[in-house]
Amino acid sequence: MLENRLDIRNYMKKLHKLANPGKFYRLSEKILPWSNLLAISLCALGLYLGLFIAPPDYQQGESVRIIYVHVPAATLASFVYAIMAVASAISFIWKNPLGNFIAKSAAPIGAVFTIIAIITGALWGKPTWGTWWIWDARLTSVLILFFLYLGYIAIWQVFEDQNKAAKAAAIIAIVGAINLPIIRFSVDWWNTLHQGASIIRLDGPSIHQDILIPLIFMWLGFLSYLISLLIIRIQSEITLQKIRAIQILISEQK
């Protein structure tokens, strides 16, 4: 029992070290070239398979190929928000600056994924449904996700004091996370024009493997791209904070 507690303590210490911005910077430097390489190669492979090799759908025809961008963008839009909420919560509870850097860096990426999902969805919706947009539960909850991202980004600009901004932004991020299960289950809880889940289902995916495999490559490619973007943005956020600290030091010495 005692040993176990010591183990946990050691483990926590290691985690704490990782949560140190400097450590994070050095570790992420090592990951970055690999995530770049994976992002480029997986997306290239996924696009080639998706646009040239994969068959059309028996009903949608060629417009099914939009899912190779729409589905990764839409799932990662929610995923990035989840990262933001968890990082904010950790930062809020343990007063750790790295969590704030992660959340702050993630927000614009998530916002862009969301807008990509909405635009590609509209492009698919017009030929398939007969409309660019409809106020059903899925589309509306994703639009709310987009506004949550914008609100989160705006909060950082509103406060002069960065500590206050961090606190307010963290609370927005955490409260907004309630929207995530609503997005996920909107198609089950209410009747919507948007179809139900095709990939993560109790009875297995309802997408034929010839269409599913390119989609998985694209998804992993998008994920790698997300990791690269996050690393670059967090690194610059850390650098920015260092510059600020140095500026304060200099102004105090004067």
Partner 1 sequence: MKKMLKNLKPKRRRLLFLLSGLFILGISLGLALLALNEQVDLFLTPTSLSEKEIETNKRFKLGGLVQKNSIKKLKDGVTTLFIITDNNMSIDAQFKGVLPNLFREGQGVVAEGKLNSKKIFIANKIFAKHDENYLPPEIADAIKKEGQWKGN
Which residue ranges make up the site for partner 1 (CB under 8 A)? 55-61, 64, 67, 89, 92-94, 127-131, 134-137, 174-175, 178, 182, 189-193, 195-198, 201, 206-208, 210-212
Please enumerate in sequence order all residues whose Cβ is within 8 A of that of 227, keeping only pairs 6 or more positions apart, or say none: 31, 35, 39
Task: Please state the closest distance from residue 194 (CB atom) to partner 1, in A.
Answer: 9
Give the span between the Cα atoms of 111 and 199, in whole angstroms.
23
Q: Whose Cβ is closer to partner 1: residue 44's or residue 197's?
A: 197
Residue with Cβ nearer partner 1 (130 or 161): 130
The smaller minimum CB distance to partner 1, of residues 27 and 197, is found at 197
> How many residues in total does the chain contain?
254
User: What is the distance between the alpha carbons of residues 13 and 147, in angstroms, rounded to a whole number?
Assistant: 37
Residue 221 CB, nearest distance to partner 1 (Å)? 19
If the CB atoms of residues 78 and 141 are measured against partner 1, the closer one turns out to be: 141
Instruction: Kindly state the smallest distance separating residue 60's Cβ from partner 1, in Å.
Output: 7
Question: Is the Cα dihedral 123, 124, 125, 128 positive or negative?
Answer: positive
- Other beta carbons within 10 angstroms of residue 150's beta carbon come to 14
Q: How far is the CB of 44 from partner 1 (least distance, A)?
A: 23
